[in-house]
Amino acid sequence: MISDDVAAAVDAIHAGQLVGMPTETVYGLAANACDAAAVLQVFAAKQRPHFDPLIVHVADADMANAYAQVSQQAQQLMRAFWPGPLTLVLPKTARVPDEVTSGLDTVAIRCPDHPMALALIRGAGLGIAAPSANLFGRISPTTAAHVAAQLGDKVALILDGGACRIGVESSVLALFDETKPAQLLRPGGLSAEDLSQVLGYVPEQVQLAEVEREHLALSAPGQLKSHYAPQMPMQLKQRSEPWIEDGDAAYLTWSQPISFACRASVCLSPAASVDEAASRLFAAMRELEASGAKCLYAEYVPEHGLGAAVNDRLRRAASLA
Ligand code: TXA
Ligand code: MG
């Protein structure tokens, strides 16, 4: 089940099956992006609503041309940040089935910075549609074992590429209208600071839910609120506020460990590094979820660099975003 056999994974993709795929951000649930039936299996396995479109993964910028209309600005961003944690939303080509894009005329496209993912895409010779390999609304996986725990019976095999280096999902940037400035749909593994170096401006951050409502005419606003949710109530605090001391609770702290008795606690980065906090976030949330604590207390991390993505995931986990 958990394997390092890329050739077997390529065969599974060609046969229309699903594969657990490591990337530098989180593990993906991979399928042939050009095979509508395989793509529908991805939605079914994740219990993901059909209005939430998938990312097509490519091996390089050249390959992106088959699936998206690549503007000059998009090319420039690809040169600067691919392979890497930047997903671009661009006008799609006819090659992308409607099942991938939920009927939108745009497609999200990215080139992952992981040797096994690139070998899988190159070996398959196709774009790979892959959402994060977790059940819909739950915490994203950063190890092969995480994928096995939630989706092990739905995949032909899981490629083991080790623990994900970055640990939060890619940044999603909308570039579908060249006449308008780019918009950040999801803060992620590429910091807004790095993006702005190439864009020349800090992209406006638009709530993904807002865009989805606008473009996909969602009937119930806030439907996608509780993403990355642990299976217990969660409460967030600023770092300047004191902890509520509760012996039955679990705690997720920034750089200072908890000094009172509690059910479980994880300190994300004793060295106070936002990159380290990002890489450890999802595994820490899974560990605290498994502790059996009746609730989870967490604190915001500094907002710079990948801290923005960490805080976004914390807010979503606590249903505040
Ligand atoms: O790091 C990542 O991006 C991981 C790894 C596996 O590559 N993938 C990932 O996929 O996080 P997923 O499906 O969990 O998140 C993709 C996000 C979704 O929130 C989706 O709504 C948005 O991208 N998206 C996809 N296509 C879109 C489109 N055409 N327009 C707007 N948003 C889109
Ligand atoms: Mg996801």
The tens place of each residue's pLDDT in the chain, 321 residues long, gives 999 999 999 999 999 999 999 999 999 999 999 999 999 999 999 999 999 999 999 999 999 999 999 999 999 999 999 999 999 999 999 999 999 999 999 999 999 999 999 999 999 999 999 999 999 989 999 999 999 999 999 999 999 999 999 999 999 999 988 888 999 999 999 999 999 999 999 999 987 554 454 444 443 333 455 567 788 899 999 999 999 999 999 999 999 999 999 999 999 999 999 999 999 999 999 999 999 999 999 999 999 999 999 999 999 999 876
Q: How many C-beta neighbours within 10 Å does residue 292 have? A: 11
Q: Residue whose CA is closest, atom 24 of ligand 1? A: 53
- Residue 161 sits at the vertex; the CA angle it makes with 3 and 155, to the nearest 5 degrees, is 45
pLDDT of residue 179: 86
pLDDT of residue 176: 85
Give, as one character, the DSSP assignment of residue 132: B
- Distance (angstroms) between ligand 1 centre and the Cα of 245 equals 37
- Give, to the nearest 10 degrees, the angle between helix 144-151 and helix 274-289: 40
Please say whether the beta carbons of 20 and 12 come within 8 A.
no
pLDDT of residue 133: 98
Q: Does the CB atom of residue 54 touch ligand 1 within 6 A?
A: yes
Ligand nearest to the CA of 169: 1
Determine the residue of 51, 55, 135 to mutate for testing ligand 1's pocket, defined as the one with the most ligand atoms within 8 A of the Cβ atom. Answer: 55
Least Cα distance to 184 among 172, 194, 175 occurs for 172
Burial 58-92 (b: 16+ CB within 10 A, else e): bbebebbebbbebbebbeebbeebbbbbbbbbbbb
Least Cα distance to 187 among 106, 303, 279 occurs for 303
Residue 130: both structure tokens together:
């892959």
pLDDT of residue 219: 35
pTM of this prediction? 0.94
